[in-house]
């Protein structure tokens, strides 16, 4: 019992560090942007109204939608938009047209996530460093260079993995939430009447009296729920109970106290609107507070970068991106990965965002569209999961998701007003990545249909070959083929040029499924083809790490003994030639050909031993 309690405590502490880092740093800029926009007059009634809207936004979107409802939609213990997409597509698999629409919607949401991944580290770190301006206005010139240096250091350490520094995330973020609560309480004690704003009456009165202003400021109010998606995305790392416990016992109370403390300060001193978070603190505490805030924002950014690596790997497994160089940074935790292209691509985009927008207030204008669009897509997918997957009554599904849909839609519509002020930036990034994903998926479908059209039936081919068999040499040949039951090009080239056949021949096809994990006892599907030849299908989920040599160790149970020292892996290295007419638009065919050319080798991706791989090339026109 004590072990399970200590394990729950450790997981809860970990969840505070990783899951809530992003939402925990929104106190730096959320209130400032609402009151600093110039749309809301400084009256006590308005301050009560805005604080009430903040409190009930946190309650409705984070507590009810994510913590209570969405966390229930786990896909074999995994969460996140990709896991939700897989659940939704499985739920409507008997309706192909609806399924294809949901897949496009979910993949678009995943692409938009990268736009969010650029804005969040930029606005978080920049808003923390801007605290230097409160200490000394002359520091203003140093804010951007210091921000860029911190971000560079953060991205440089990614290749080392987060195992070493990760153990400090929880304690530092716990201290951060403690300081948030302390700062809030210190201000609330000077003006305890501010606590009246907990009543929804003030939010409803503000909306009733100021409908136009309410709609406009929702674009800034949404900043208080930045990082809510991380709750669901990190489900597989921590589990439901620690995430829920951390939210209700630590995070929600600390955020509420801090927002209400900022409100109490503004009631007393409207001039504090230029940076209400830092102006809550006594002068002597400002420098340590800037340091702590910077650490908290770096941790929040780290969680998002790790999420980008994880999502990229999942999307590759689902077939929407080419193979990339994925490095494992921990021998114990297979989930800890590093993808150089994603790391430096994110860094370049974040630097561009900081240099382009130059302040957290300007970045706040760019923020919101991506995150609210993802929230909206999550709500839509949740409806199909609970209606078609869990078979709940229609009225209950509409009631459960309809309210959230209306709220998410209102936030999204409000954020669209910020499109020309910077909202185009994350949408542009998401749109470009979506174009890459769809082009890769469609290009692979074209390539596979071309290969199928030219394919030779494997059993019939083997029958013909063994009528007058070529010389057979010792060892095992493993041929990889995209389609079950077809002759791999590598085998045709091998027979044509080397005129030999190995003693044992395996024809391997890898199938990736829309589930996170495929169990070991369901990993292999083996069919003997005679003459010491086997057709093998290896099944992986989008969270599994493909490792063909490891998977083939189980073949001995099927009468096939493999000696790693005498096993050769034959791969086809296809060169795609774009052609005019048919297929995709010419620019998309050229883009696909370039992506196909630049994809990392199948040998590395499938963990094949380098000294046992033979690649044979061929050209394919699409």
Measured between alpha carbons, how far is 459 from 465 in angstroms, rounded to an integer? 10
Question: Quick one: DSSP state of residue 601?
Answer: P
Q: Where are the beta strands (DSSP E) in 316-464?
A: 327-328, 337-338
Q: Which residues of 256-291 are buried (b: 16+ CB within 10 A; e: fewer)?
A: bbbbbbbbbbbbeeeebbebbbbbbbeeeebeebbe
Measured between alpha carbons, how far is 602 from 227 in angstroms, rounded to an integer? 35
In the chain, what percentage of residues exceed pLDDT 70? 97
Question: Quick one: DSSP state of residue 251?
Answer: I
Which run of H or of E encompasses 180?
A: helix 163-188
For residue 11, which phi and psi values (nearest 5 degrees)? -65, -40
Q: Which two tokens stand for residue 114?
A: 């990268």
**Cα torsion angle, 413, 416, 417, 422, sign:** positive
Count how many Cα atoms sit within 13 Å of the Cα of residue 179 in the half-sphere of its side chain: 24
Evaluate if residue 9 carries a pLDDT over 90: no
Evaluate if residue 2 carries a pLDDT over 60: no
Measured between alpha carbons, how far is 242 from 3 in angstroms, rounded to an integer? 15
Which residues face 617 on adjacent strands?
A: 573
Give the residue with greater pLDDT, 193 vs 234.
193
Q: Which residue has the tokens 């100021």?
A: 210
Evaluate if residue 406 carries a pLDDT over 90: yes
Predicted pLDDT of residue 582: 66
Evaluate if residue 211 carries a pLDDT over 80: yes
CA 200: distance to chain centroid? 33
162 falls in which pLDDT band (50, 70, 90)?
low
- Identify the CA nearest to 20 among candidates 223, 208, 174, 182: 174
Contact assessment for residue 321 and residue 308, using Cβ atoms and an 8 Å cutoff:
no
Predicted pLDDT of residue 343: 93
SS3 content of the chain, % helix, strand, coil (to 5): 70, 10, 20
User: 500-513 and 327-328: which strand pairing?
Assistant: unpaired
For residue 596, which phi and psi values (nearest 5 degrees)? -65, -40
Average pLDDT taken over every residue of the chain: 87
Prediction pTM value: 0.85
Q: What does 491-540 look like in DSSP terms, one character per residue?
A: HHHHHHHH-EEEEEEEEEEEEEESSS---GGGSEEEEEEETTEEEEEEEE
Q: Which two tokens stand for residue 168?
A: 């400090």
Q: Which two tokens stand for residue 586?
A: 């010419």
Predicted pLDDT of residue 357: 92
Predicted pLDDT of residue 332: 57
Measured between alpha carbons, how far is 328 from 413 in angstroms, rounded to an integer? 41
Predicted pLDDT of residue 334: 55
Helix/strand/coil for 475: strand
Which residues face 500 on adjacent strands?
A: 471
Dump pLDDT digits (tens) for 467-484: 888 888 898 999 988 888
Contact assessment for residue 251 and residue 16, using Cβ atoms and an 8 Å cutoff:
yes
User: Mean pLDDT lowest for which of 108-122, 152-166, 202-216, 287-301?
Assistant: 152-166
Dump pLDDT digits (tens) for 47-87: 999 999 999 999 999 999 999 888 888 877 778 888 888 88
User: 613-621 and 567-577: which strand pairing?
Assistant: parallel
Q: Which two tokens stand for residue 545?
A: 């790490």
Measured between alpha carbons, how far is 321 from 323 in angstroms, rounded to an integer? 7
Predicted pLDDT of residue 384: 93
Evaluate if residue 4 carries a pLDDT over 70: no
Evaluate if residue 42 carries a pLDDT over 50: yes
User: 327-328 and 337-338: which strand pairing?
Assistant: antiparallel
Domains in the chain, start-ordered, CATH in brackets? Answer: 11-127+137-423 (1.20.1740.10), 454-621 (no CATH)
Evaluate if residue 32 carries a pLDDT over 70: yes
| Other CB atoms within 10 Å distance of the CB of residue 300 | 29
Contact assessment for residue 243 and residue 13, using Cβ atoms and an 8 Å cutoff:
no
Measured between alpha carbons, how far is 609 from 285 in angstroms, rounded to an integer? 56
Rounded to an integer, the average pLDDT of 390-404 is 91
1 falls in which pLDDT band (50, 70, 90)?
very low
Dump pLDDT digits (tens) for 300-358: 888 888 888 888 888 888 889 998 888 877 655 556 778 899 999 999 999 999 999 98
CA 590: distance to chain centroid? 28
Evaluate if residue 129 carries a pLDDT over 80: yes
Measured between alpha carbons, how far is 484 from 367 in angstroms, rounded to an integer? 46
Give the residue with greater pLDDT, 208 vs 304.
208
User: Mean pLDDT lowest for which of 19-33, 191-205, 320-334?
Assistant: 320-334
């Amino acid at each position: 019992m004590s072990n399970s309690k200590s394990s729950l405590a450790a997981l809860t502490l970990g969840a505070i560090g990783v899951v809530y880092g992003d939402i925990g740093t929104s106190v730096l800029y959320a209130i400032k942007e609402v009151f600093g926009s110039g749309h809301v007059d400084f009256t006590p009634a308005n301050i009560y109204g805005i604080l009430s809207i903040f409190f009930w936004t946190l309650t409705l979107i984070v507590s009810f939608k994510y913590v209570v409802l969405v966390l229930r939609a786990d896909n074999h213990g995994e969460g996140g938009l990709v896991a939700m997409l897989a659940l939704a597509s499985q739920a409507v698999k008997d309706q192909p047209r609806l399924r294809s629409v949901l897949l496009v919607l979910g993949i678009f949401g995943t692409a938009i996530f990268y736009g969010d991944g650029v804005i969040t580290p930029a606005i978080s770190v920049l808003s923390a460093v801007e605290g230097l301006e409160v200490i000394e206005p002359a520091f203003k010139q140093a804010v951007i260079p210091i921000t860029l240096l911190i971000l560079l250091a953060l991205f440089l350490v990614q290749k080392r993995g987060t195992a070493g520094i990760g153990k400090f995330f929880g304690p530092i973020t716990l201290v951060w939430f403690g300081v948030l609560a302390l700062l809030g309480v210190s201000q609330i004690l000077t003006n305890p009447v501010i606590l009246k704003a907990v009543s929804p009456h003030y939010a409803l009165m503000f909306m009733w009296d100021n409908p136009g202003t309410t709609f406009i400021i929702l674009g800034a109010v949404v900043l208080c729920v930045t990082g809510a998606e991380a709750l669901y995305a990190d489900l597989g790392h921590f589990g439901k109970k620690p995430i829920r416990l951390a939210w209700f016992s630590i995070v929600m109370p600390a955020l509420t106290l801090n927002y209400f403390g900022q409100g109490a300060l503004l009631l007393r001193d409207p001039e504090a609107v230029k940076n209400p978070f830092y102006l809550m603190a006594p002068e002597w505490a400002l420098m340590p507070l800037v340091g702590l805030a910077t650490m908290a924002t770096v941790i929040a950014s780290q969680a998002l970068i790790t999420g980008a690596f994880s999502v990229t790997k999942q999307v590759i497994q689902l077939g929407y991106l080419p193979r990339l160089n994925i490095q494992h940074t921990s021998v114990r935790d297979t989930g800890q990965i590093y993808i150089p292209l994603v790391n430096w691509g994110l860094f370049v985009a974040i630097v561009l965002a900081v240099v382009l927008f130059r302040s957290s207030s300007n970045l706040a204008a760019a923020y919101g569209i991506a995150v609210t669009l993802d929230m909206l897509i999550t709500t839509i997918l949740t409806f199909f999961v609970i209606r078609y997957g869990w078979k709940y009554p229609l009225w209950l599904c509409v009631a459960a998701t309809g309210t959230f849909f209306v709220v998410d839609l209102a936030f999204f519509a409000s954020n669209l007003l910020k499109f020309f002020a910077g909202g185009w930036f994350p949408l542009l990034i998401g749109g470009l990545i979506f174009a890459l994903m769809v082009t890769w998926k469609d290009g692979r479908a074209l390539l596979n249909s071309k290969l199928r059209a030219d394919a030779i039936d494997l059993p019939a081919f083997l029958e013909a070959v063994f009528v007058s068999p070529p010389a057979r040499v010792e060892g095992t040949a493993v041929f990889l083929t995209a389609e079950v039951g077809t002759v791999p090009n590598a085998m045709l080239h091998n027979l044509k040029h080397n005129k030999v056949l190995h003693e044992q021949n395996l024809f391997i096809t890898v199938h990736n499924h829309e589930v996170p994990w495929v169990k070991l006892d369901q990993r292999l599907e083996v069919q003997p083809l005679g003459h010491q030849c086997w057709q093998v299908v290896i099944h992986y989920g989008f969270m599994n790490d493909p490792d063909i040599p490891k998977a083939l160790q189980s073949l001995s149970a099927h009468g096939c003994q493999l000696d790693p020292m005498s096993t050769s892996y034959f791969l086809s290295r296809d060169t795609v030639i774009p052609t005019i007419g048919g297929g995709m638009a010419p620019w998309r065919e050229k883009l696909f050909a370039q992506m196909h050319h630049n994809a990392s080798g199948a040998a590395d991706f499938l963990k094949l031993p380098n000294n046992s791989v033979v690649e044979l090339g061929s050209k394919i026109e699409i």
